[in-house]
Structures are given as structure tokens and as C-alpha cells.
Chain A
């Protein structure tokens, strides 16, 4: 498709979604993408730790949002829907591609003394460790600490029991704490 034609179609999409948006106080698709792209991309990035795959997954999620736009009821519904679909697609992506985390907890490198003092490097170390957690605790930790979601909300997004989420987060945190304490040589 030519560039101008594509722009015209994009304008039509924005206009058509905006018409419905006015009636039901929804944003346009473009606005929804702009508002939530960091959230969707970050869930994918923290889960997959691969920029290309994360962007591809995030694009797929927004494409799916466009297909399901007629069923969106409110901005809150869009947010909930995006979190749910991004989470499920992240798990699907790993299972489909049989991706294994690049580094396991045991293989994750020891932080140096410098890293112990440097917050950004410690953050990067924690990110790598989160990405090496088993799928379900990993996703629960991402939704809890990236999105700041309550246990009930996470359970609703992942369609499981609150007690299961609680266990997964507890298990994930324990693994992370244990590993970090061992590496840093002190309790965390």
C-alpha cells in the first residue's frame, strides 16, 4: 500500500474509533496505543527479555485490541483487557517458541562489589533474575511490581485463584531473595 493511502486508512481508523469513543467515553485506538504501549511492551520485555520479540508481541496485542474494539466498554476495560491479553500472549509466546530464559537463577552472574553499591546495576541484575523465574511466578511478579496490581486484580487477569497468586509471588520472592542474599553476602 502507498504511504498516502496508508495514512488515509489510518485517519479513517482513528475517525471511526473516535466516533464510538465520543459516545462511550473511550479514547481513539491511537490514543489507547499511546497510553498503554509502555505497559504492554514492558510486560512483554520483562517476561521475554528480547526487544524484538517484546515489540512484536506488543504490536500483536494492539492489533488484537483493534479487532476487539467493538467490545470495549470503558477505558478501564481496555486497561484490564490489555493486561490480560499481554499476559496470556507472553506465556503463549514462550511455549510456542519453546523459549528458555537465557540465564537460569544458578547461572546468573555474581554482582561485583561495585554492583552492590550501584542501584541501576542491581536493578538490571534483579531484572535478569526475574526473567529466569518459572513462567507463572514470573508473570505474577511482573504484574505485582511493574504494574503495582493487587493480588485480586492479578488473579482476575490471569484467571486463577488469589491463593495461587499469593503462593506464586511468595515463591518468586523467596527465590529472588535467596539468590540475591547469597550473591550479596547479606540478608535482603
Chain B
């Protein structure tokens, strides 16, 4: 150490705080303890408190797991209902289509018969005229 550093070391010597310092600190500690019991979050990490931490974590996980499960169930149920509705609509459309086809074929059949009758009637009239 150089002479300058030695001089610096002497200059930086420790100083005593005011005489009542310790009692003032202890009074503040007492005041804090009297006001309300202090609970430091780190106390939860102490070995003696491990079971409490484990209990709290279990409750937390159970609640969050239950909420997540319910949400998932609701979502699956909604998706299932939506699929059912779509299938039902498709079936309805097919039935309506089949019915329309039937009606169309019937109508075509009737129209064919009527046409045939009209044609025959025309031929008969022409034969009478000749």
C-alpha cells in the first residue's frame, strides 16, 4: 500500500453513530412489531413452512386445474353441438331435394301423358278433315 493509500485509509476510518443509535433501532423494531406482525414472503420458503407452501400450492393447482377442465369441457360440448346442427341441416336439405325430385318426375310424367293425348287428338282431327 502506498503512503497515499495509507493516508486515505486513515481518512476513511469508521465513525461511531450517535450514542442512542442502538436503542433507536430497537425502538423502531418494537414499533413495527407492535403495529402488526410482519410476514415476510420469504418465510414461506423456510423448511418448517414447507408443508404450508405445499398445501397452498395444492389448493391453487386444484382450483386452476378445475377451472381449466370446466372450460375445456364446455368448449368440447359446444363444438359437438355445432357439428350436430350442421349434420341435421345437411340431412334436411337432402330430404327436401329428394322430395323436389319426386315432384318434378311426377310433373314430367303427367306432362308426358297430356302431351301424348293432345298429339293423338290432333292426329284424329287431321284424319277426320282429310
A3 to chain B, nearest CB (A): 10
Beta-carbon contact of B42 and A10 below 8 Å: no
Beta-carbon contact of A63 and B28 below 8 Å: yes
Beta-carbon contact of B28 and A70 below 8 Å: no
Q: Which of A30, A70, A126, A145 contacts B26 (CB 8 A)?
A: A30
Beta-carbon contact of A39 and B30 below 8 Å: no
Q: Which of A34, A124, A130, A173 contacts B22 (CB 8 A)?
A: A34
List A residues 118-148 near B (Cβ within 8 Å). Answer: 119, 122-124, 126-127, 130, 141-142, 145-146, 148
**Chain A: interface residue total (CB-CB under 8 A):** 48
A66 to chain B, nearest CB (A): 5
**Interface assignment of B129: CB less than 8 Å from any CB of chain A:** no
Give the complex CA separation of A141 and B9 in angstroms. 9
The residues of A with any CB-CB pair to B shorter than 8 Å are: 1, 5-6, 9-10, 12-14, 29-30, 33-34, 37-39, 41-42, 45-46, 51, 54-55, 58-59, 62-63, 66-68, 70-71, 119, 122-124, 126-127, 130, 141-142, 145-146, 148, 173, 176-177, 180, 188
